């Protein structure tokens, strides 16, 4: 079996065939098209890169055949090269790989032997066609005394409900990377009358998921954000099924049928994301939680709060806590991932420790007046797991935990406490929740319902229901989050503004408005 970096030629084909239960014949003759003939641009979905390490980064592309293309059923040779300049006069790495029908003609190359903290340019070539020149950046060395990190995080980009104007602005920023926190696609049936249209019913088959990913990847602003920066990605629920929990679907479906659907969704997700072979799915399982270190400055712990969680308590929804909320065996991460996370954080030598998280960790009482109501799909529905995490934060005095979150189509800034109601209890961490790119359509400043319940939640420093993203600047002494928002996503090319800026000082958990 090839090592984790060997995704070229025979190694990648065998891995893909093994995944699908196929057997490739051993033969000395050519089994691929070295010079295919394309009717149209085969690289219509662009390029992207991700999973940056100090000496390596994954580069990605996908050939896009039509059903009438003879090569759609063939393995196609794809050349790649990486250079230190955009003219490719100084090529430092190059090679060839296969785009195979077994893997949807996606190409993942784990380029190793690169210098840390360095910008590189890359491109792919097949049959005389060449991709646009793209760029990527490696992470700093693990022990580097790096003084800054600039990144943006985003989530929830429902294609139908708006234009990806947020990415149009994001690419103009001076970023080292982009972090995507989930809901990269939406699985639902197309709905007439929305801003942009897709056809078909709720997706279920591998072809369905591939086509939905291809539709999203066709957006020019999303393509440009992928072309210019490396990405770190994780999923939430809509990459498979709304509010699914582990092997439990939202709607009535047998476990076997849902796991087959989940396997299709996970395979398509891997095919379309710049992930290493260590994340290649095996059936309905895919290893997605992982860590990335940016020198002594920052460490990312990328979480998966969907694949291993127990069912939402109290029959899901937003409601008063029932007894199941306090079940000690209830979990979002699963025991193995929770221990992994504590190990990553406990051994970290970085100043800032970032949890790339899907659903809100801070508790918010969503019911004004008497009584309480909490979203059961969030950490609030898994109280024992939430408390364990708060206590872990409290025990590690120099951890500087920052939780970045997506999911809820709104912006939030929250102080994290074990006893969330007690404003005199120590703050143990800070959560910055980013709104959606488009999901929910045109937003607003604050909803009427929130105006009623927010005064009862002093742990919440800011809340807003517009669309956009969060841009973060990290230094050894200070974390700064700029909340970029758009008035409309129903109309293209709209301006963006910084709604508010918050900061957190190293050694002093909690958010301060700048």
DSSP labels, 247-260 = TB-SSS--HHHHHH
332-349 confidence digits (pLDDT tens): 999 999 999 999 999 999
Return d(Cα 371, Cα 54) in angstroms, integer. 50
Q: Which of 40, 6, 249, 199 is nearest to 108 (CA)?
A: 6
Q: Are 5 and 51 in contact (CB under 8 A)?
A: no
- Assigned domain for 299 exists: yes
Mean pLDDT of 474-494: 98
Give me the pLDDT at residue 3, please. 37
DSSP-derived secondary structure letter, 34: S
Return d(Cα 173, Cα 152) in angstroms, integer. 9
Q: Is the pLDDT of residue 5 over 60?
A: no
Torsion of CA 408, 502, 355, 162, to 10 degrees: 30
141-199 confidence digits (pLDDT tens): 999 999 999 999 999 999 999 999 999 999 999 999 999 999 999 999 999 999 999 88
| The Cα angle at residue 4 between residues 149 and 13, in degrees rounded to 5 | 120
106-138 confidence digits (pLDDT tens): 999 999 999 999 999 999 999 999 999 999 999
DSSP-derived secondary structure letter, 272: H
Residue given tokens 């476990």 in the structure block = 255
Return d(Cα 290, Cα 337) in angstroms, integer. 10
Q: How many percent of the chain have pLDDT more than 70? A: 93
Q: Are 437 and 156 in contact (CB under 8 A)?
A: yes
The residue with greater pLDDT, 20 or 468, is: 468
- Assigned domain for 218 exists: yes
- Assigned domain for 400 exists: yes
DSSP labels, 420-459 = TT-TTSPP-EEEEE---SSTTSS-BSS-HHHHHHGGG-TT
Give me the pLDDT at residue 25, please. 30
For the chain, the straight-line distance linking the first and the last C-alpha, in angstroms and rounded, comes to 53
- Assigned domain for 463 exists: yes
Return d(Cα 117, Cα 144) in angstroms, integer. 9
- Assigned domain for 300 exists: yes
How many domains are contained in the chain?
1
Average pLDDT in the chain: 92
Q: Is 259 helix (H, G, I), strand (E, B) or coil?
A: helix
Q: Is the pLDDT of residue 467 over 60?
A: yes
Q: Is 327 left (phi over 0), alpha (psi -120 to 50) or beta?
A: beta
Give me the pLDDT at residue 13, please. 32
| The Cα angle at residue 411 between residues 405 and 413, in degrees rounded to 5 | 75
Q: Is 159 left (phi over 0), alpha (psi -120 to 50) or beta?
A: alpha
165-179 confidence digits (pLDDT tens): 999 999 999 999 999
Residue given tokens 């690419």 in the structure block = 171
Mean pLDDT of 383-399: 96
Give me the pLDDT at residue 36, please. 78
- Assigned domain for 132 exists: no
Q: Which of 159, 93, 92, 81 is nearest to 123 (CA)?
A: 81
Q: Which of 351, 328, 309, 337 is nearest to 507 (CA)?
A: 351
Return d(Cα 481, Cα 512) in angstroms, integer. 10
β-strands 91-99, 119-126: how paired?
A: unpaired
11-58 confidence digits (pLDDT tens): 333 333 322 222 223 333 345 666 778 888 999 999 999 999 999 999
Q: Containing domain of residue 199, as a range? A: 139-513
- Assigned domain for 289 exists: yes
Q: How many percent of the chain have pLDDT more than 90? A: 88
- Assigned domain for 252 exists: yes
240-296 confidence digits (pLDDT tens): 999 999 999 998 889 999 999 999 999 999 999 999 999 999 999 999 999 999 999
Q: Are 505 and 512 in contact (CB under 8 A)?
A: yes
Helices (H) and strands (E) in the chain, counts: 8, 24
Cβ-based neighbours of 413, under 8 Å, separated by 6 or more = 430, 431, 432, 433, 460, 461, 462, 463, 481, 502, 511
Structural Rg of the chain based on CA atoms? 22
Take residue 301 and report the two structure tokens written for it. Answer: 């712990």
CATH of the domain at 364: 3.60.21.70
61-92 confidence digits (pLDDT tens): 999 988 788 888 899 999 999 999 999 999 99
Q: Are 187 and 240 in contact (CB under 8 A)?
A: yes
Q: Which of 180, 148, 135, 53 is nearest to 470 (CA)?
A: 180
422 φ, ψ to 5°?
-90, 105
Q: Which of 424, 398, 405, 420 is nearest to 508 (CA)?
A: 398
Return d(Cα 98, Cα 473) in angstroms, integer. 39
H/E run at residue 56? strand 56-62
Helices 383-395 and 335-346 sit at what angle, rounded to 10 degrees?
20
Return d(Cα 309, Cα 380) in angstroms, integer. 13
Give me the pLDDT at residue 66, please. 81
């Amino acid at each position: 079996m090839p090592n984790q970096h060997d995704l070229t030629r025979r190694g990648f084909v065998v891995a893909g065939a093994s995944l699908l239960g196929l057997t490739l014949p051993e033969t000395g003759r050519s089994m691929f098209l070295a010079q295919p003939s394309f009717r149209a641009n085969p690289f219509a979905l662009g390029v992207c890169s991700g999973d940056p390490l100090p000496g390596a980064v994954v580069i990605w592309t996908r050939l896009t055949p039509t059903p009438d293309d003879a090569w759609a059923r063939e393995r196609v040779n794809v050349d790649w090269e990486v250079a230190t300049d955009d003219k490719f006069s100084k090529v430092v790495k190059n090679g060839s790989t296969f785009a195979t029908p077994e893997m949807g003609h996606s190409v993942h190359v784990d380029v190793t032997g690169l210098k840390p903290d360095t910008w590189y340019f890359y491109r792919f070539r097949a049959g005389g066609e060449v991709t646009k020149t793209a760029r990527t950046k490696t992470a700093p060395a693990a022990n580097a005394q790096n003084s800054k990190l600039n990144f943006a995080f985003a989530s929830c980009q429902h294609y139908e409900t708006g234009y990806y104007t947020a990415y149009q602005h994001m690419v103009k920023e001076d970023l080292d990377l982009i972090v995507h926190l989930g809901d990269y696609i939406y699985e639902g049936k197309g709905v007439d009358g929305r801003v942009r249209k897709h056809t078909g019913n709720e997706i279920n088959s591998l072809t369905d998921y591939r086509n939905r990913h291809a539709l999203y990847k066709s957006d020019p602003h999303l393509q440009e954000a992928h072309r210019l920066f490396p990405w770190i990605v994780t999923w939430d629920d809509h990459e498979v099924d709304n509010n699914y929990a582990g092997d439990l679907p939202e709607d009535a479906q047998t476990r076997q049928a849902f796991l087959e659907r989940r396997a299709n969704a996970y395979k398509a997700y891997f095919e379309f994301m710049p992930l290493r072979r260590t994340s290649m799915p095996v059936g309905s399982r895919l290893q997605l939680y992982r860590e990335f270190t940016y020198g002594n400055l920052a460490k990312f712990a990328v979480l998966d709060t969907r694949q291993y969680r127990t069912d939402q308590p109290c029959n899901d929804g937003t409601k008063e806590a029932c007894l199941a909320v306090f079940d000690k065996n209830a979990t979002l991460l699963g025991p193995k991932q929770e221990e992994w996370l504590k190990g990553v954080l406990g051994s970290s030598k970085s100043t800032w420790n970032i949890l790339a998280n899907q659903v809100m960790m801070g508790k918010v009482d969503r019911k004004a007046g008497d009584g309480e109501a909490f979203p059961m799909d969030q950490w609030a529905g898994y109280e024992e797991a939430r408390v364990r995490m708060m206590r872990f934060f409290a025990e590690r005095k120099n951890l500087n935990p920052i939780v970045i979150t997506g999911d809820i189509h709104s912006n939030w800034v929250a102080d994290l406490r074990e006893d969330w109601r007690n404003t005199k209890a120590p703050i143990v961490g800070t959560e910055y929740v980013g709104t959606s790119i488009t999901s929910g359509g045109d937003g607003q400043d604050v909803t009427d319902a929130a105006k009623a319940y927010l005064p009862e939640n002093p742990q919440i420093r800011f809340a807003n229901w517009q669309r956009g993203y969060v841009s973060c600047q990290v230094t050894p002494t200070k974390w700064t989050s700029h909340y970029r928002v758009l008035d409309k996503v129903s109309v293209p090319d709209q301006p963006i503004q910084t709604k508010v800026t918050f900061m957190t000082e190293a050694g002093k958990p909690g958010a301060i408005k700048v």
